[in-house]
Homo-oligomer: A and B are copies of this chain.
């Protein structure tokens, strides 16, 4: 009944890819690349997960998580994000360092352990990267944030979350003193490369490339 670490990693990757690509379908090839596991291995694992009613699988078609699969994956991601939160808030780790540790702790089998974390953290809804933390039923409430790259010159926004977090990106943000909750004013948008010039805090003239702006999720200030 209980899933192995391996199965949990497949479920998690499936869940993340589903959220990234939108339509709820994931190709075996995408999964294979994400997990760095060869396609035949992925195919056979899909059959195994299908046997456990965690995914819908038919030959030569993309894979979909079942409701049961979504719930289990959501719970793993919940554990991952609570852990990251705990490491940052209670153990004084930097954002950049928590991912690898959380990747391991997310597989711990102990409901009380994560309930305690949740409690000590004050039942957070968003993790240190700004991503939502699924609830106890594995349900993730995605607040519909806009990308900074979709905003126009003149708008005032608040940095609410970050997409596709990597250590390098987090370091980049840190080096510019950007953190969640930051109030940003868009001064101009360059037409030829879609880069933006913004101002915030003491920094009145920062330029961000389009690639960066696409990864910053914001809420517009009224």
List, in ascending order, chain B residues with CB within 8 A of A116's CB. 91-93
User: Which of A92, A101, A109, A117: most chain B CB closer than 10 A?
Assistant: A101
How many residues on A have C-beta within 8 angstroms of the other chain's C-beta atoms?
A: 17
Report chain B residues within 8 Å CB of A50.
none
- Residues of B within 8 Å of A91, CB to CB, are 116-117, 120
Q: How far is the CA of A182 from the CA of B97 in the complex (A)?
A: 41
Q: Shortest distance in angstroms between A118's beta carbon and chain B's nearest beta carbon?
A: 11
**Taking the nearest CB of chain B, how far is it from the CB of A214, in angstroms?**
31
Question: Oligomeric state, in number of copies?
Answer: 2
Task: Please measure, in the bound complex, the distance between the C-alpha atom of A170 and the C-alpha atom of B155, giving whole angstroms.
Answer: 61
Q: Which residues of B contact A92 (CB under 8 A)?
A: 116, 120
Whether a CB of chain B sits under 8 angstroms from the CB of A105 is yes
By a CB distance below 8 angstroms, the chain B residues around A101 are 108, 110, 112-113
- The verdict on A104 contacting chain B, using a C-beta distance below 8 Å, is yes
A73-112 toward B: CB 8 Å interface, digit per residue (1/0)? 0000000000000000011110001001100110011101
Q: A108 contacts B105, CB within 8 Å?
A: yes
Q: Which of A91, A92, A100, A120 neighbours the largest number of chain B CB atoms within 10 Å of its CB?
A: A91
CB-nearest residue of chain B relative to A92? B116
How far does the Cβ of A52 sit from chain B's closest Cβ, in whole Å?
22
Q: For the complex formed, measure the closest distance between the CB of A138 and the CB atoms of chain B, giving whole angstroms.
A: 21
B97 and A112 contacting across the interface, CB-CB below 8 Å: yes
Contacts of A112 in B (CB 8 A): 93, 97, 101
9 A-B pairs closest in CB distance: A104-B108, A101-B110, A101-B113, A91-B116, A105-B108, A91-B120, A100-B110, A104-B109, A93-B116
Interchain residue pairs with CB less than 8 A apart (12): A91-B116, A91-B117, A91-B120, A92-B116, A92-B120, A93-B112, A97-B112, A101-B108, A101-B110, A101-B113, A104-B108, A105-B105
